[in-house]
Amino acid sequence: MQSNTSFITIFDSIYPDHLREIYDPPVILYSKGNAEYLSNQKMLAVVGSRKADQYTETMLNIILPDLLAEGICIVSGLAKGADSIAHRLALNGQTIGVTGSGFQHIYPRSNHDLYQQMAARQLLLSEYPPYIKPQKFHFPMRNRIIAGLSKGLLVTQAAMKSGTMITVDRALEEGRDIFSVPGSALDPLCEGTNSLISQGAKLTVSAKDILNEWAF
């Protein structure tokens, strides 16, 4: 993962306008892959629990294909669970993975093959130089980039107290749309998503729920 790494500064024309507008944008983004994706104005972040189960996979299989067909780029954080599911389903369209470490340190290691596919065919981004190892505090910082790049945020499964909900709060601060997949009241991983819907997030069970909201 050391070769073919480029970097983009906040002063470059390719730097995404949505990200530049947040209150603490990264000054430098390291990139690997197709940086032309950054010009796509239709980016949707997909976030959810690292413990996401078959329900997330089933729902994203329903929702994502029609979004990808409309040219929407799927942004996520290359973590286990919901992130990995979203990236894999989007490999035939456009997807951007934002990492919490430099490209020399693949985290989690279980995503090694996915990293390689993303670097070859999609786009990886990090604000950390390639030699920087993952640290716990890197991931909330990464999440602001995920929210900043995107026009909206789709939440699949999330506990009430989770990194996903922190990302949602950041997206709301930046004026992004929030879409939430409903789930069973008996499932702790759906507690966060159901709560978001009760607070005004768009209930989302198909691509139309997002496409109609964005008038595509």
pTM: 0.95
Range of the domain at 21: 6-214
Report if residue 176 sits inside a domain. Answer: yes
pLDDT at residue 5 above 90? no
When pLDDT is cut at 50, 70 and 90, the band that residue 216 belongs to is: low
Instruction: Please give the pLDDT value at position 200.
Output: 96
Tokens coding 208: 């139309």
- Mean of pLDDT over the chain: 94
What span, in angstroms and rounded, lies between the C-alpha atoms of 70 and 66? 6
Report if residue 59 sits inside a domain. Answer: yes
Q: pLDDT, tens digit, for every residue of 144-195?
A: 999 999 999 999 999 998 889 999 999 999 999 999 999 999 999 999 999 9
Report if residue 51 sits inside a domain. Answer: yes
Instruction: Please give the pLDDT value at position 4.
Output: 77
Report if residue 14 sits inside a domain. Answer: yes
Angle at 62 between CA 156 and CA 213, to 5 degrees: 70
pLDDT at residue 55 above 70? yes
Report if residue 89 sits inside a domain. Answer: yes
Report if residue 1 sits inside a domain. Answer: no
Instruction: Please give the pLDDT value at position 109.
Output: 87
Q: How many domains does the chain have?
A: 1
CA neighbor of 167 nearest in space, from 188, 193, 145, 183? 145
**How many angstroms separate the most distant Cα atoms in the chain?**
48
CATH number (domain holding residue 138): 3.40.50.450
- Dihedral sign from CA coordinates of 78, 146, 137, 166: negative
> Chain centroid to CA 141: how far?
13
Report if residue 198 sits inside a domain. Answer: yes
Instruction: Please give the pLDDT value at position 2.
Output: 41
Report if residue 192 sits inside a domain. Answer: yes
Q: pLDDT, tens digit, for every residue of 196-215?
A: 999 999 999 999 999 999 98
